[in-house]
């Protein structure tokens, strides 16, 4: 085989590899993290979801976490931004591993699972059914004398 032929094969090979790389979407992140990485992500304002049951959540949860039990995840995740990073956790990391896998399969780009769950969490926790800010939520809203339903909605 002549040097020219080899050169052509190399050039074509490079083009093929480049084309494949360009056509392949960037790999989604589904990463197990520990407490330190969680603290770092929280400081960046990343949303943290607790996929345990409401009663487990009420007993103790990470500050700022939102409770989305596993059986509500599919519905709730429909309204989440798939480009934004999310952290999921449960008691020991098993349920949230499934949740993370599900979210990645749904197209979420960056999903982090607190791999050892809240049982290994060494920071502060909160109690109650709220999201960590529930205590600050208003207890009354001005009505026109009728019960009121407020829908903070997306445009669809």
Partner 1 sequence: MKPVVDRLKEQYGDKIEFRRYVDSGDPVGDELSRQFNVQYVPTFVFVNADGSVSGEPIVGGVSAEILKQRLDALK
Give contact residues for partner 1 (rule: CB under 8 A).
Answer: 47, 66, 68, 72, 75-80, 129-131, 133-134, 136-156
Please state the closest distance from residue 63 (CB atom) to partner 1, in A: 13
CB of 24 or CB of 55, closer to partner 1: 55
Please state the closest distance from residue 99 (CB atom) to partner 1, in A: 14
- What one-character-per-residue DSSP string does 68-135 give? --HHHHHHHHTTS-TTS-EEEE-SSSHHHHHHHHHHHHTT-SEEEEETTTGGG--S--B-SSS-S-GG
Please state the closest distance from residue 10 (CB atom) to partner 1, in A: 51
CB of 96 or CB of 115, closer to partner 1: 96
Q: What does the alpha-carbon distance between residue 99 and residue 96 come to, in Å, rounded to a whole number?
A: 5
Return the active site residues.
90
State how beta strands 47-50 and 86-89 pair. parallel
CB of 13 or CB of 63, closer to partner 1: 63
Which residues on neighbouring strands pair with residue 105, listed in sequence order?
A: none
Given a contact cutoff of 8 angstroms between Cβ atoms, the answer to whether 125 and 60 are in contact is: yes
């Amino acid at each position: 085989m002549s040097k020219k032929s080899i050169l052509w094969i190399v050039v074509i090979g490079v083009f093929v590899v480049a084309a494949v790389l360009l056509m392949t979407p960037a790999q989604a992140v589904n990463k197990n993290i520990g407490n330190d990485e969680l603290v770092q992500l929280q400081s960046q304002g990343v949303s943290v979801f607790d996929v345990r049951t409401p009663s487990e959540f009420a007993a103790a949860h990470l500050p700022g976490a939102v409770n989305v039990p596993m059986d509500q995840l599919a519905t709730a995740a429909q309204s989440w931004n798939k480009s934004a990073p999310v952290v999921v956790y449960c008691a020991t990391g098993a349920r949230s591993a499934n949740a993370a896998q599900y979210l990645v399969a749904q197209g979420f780009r960056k999903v982090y699972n607190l791999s050892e769950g809240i049982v290994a969490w060494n920071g502060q926790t909160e109690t109650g059914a709220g999201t960590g800010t529930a205590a600050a939520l208003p207890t009354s809203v001005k009505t026109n004398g009728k019960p009121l339903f407020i829908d903070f909605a997306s445009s669809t």
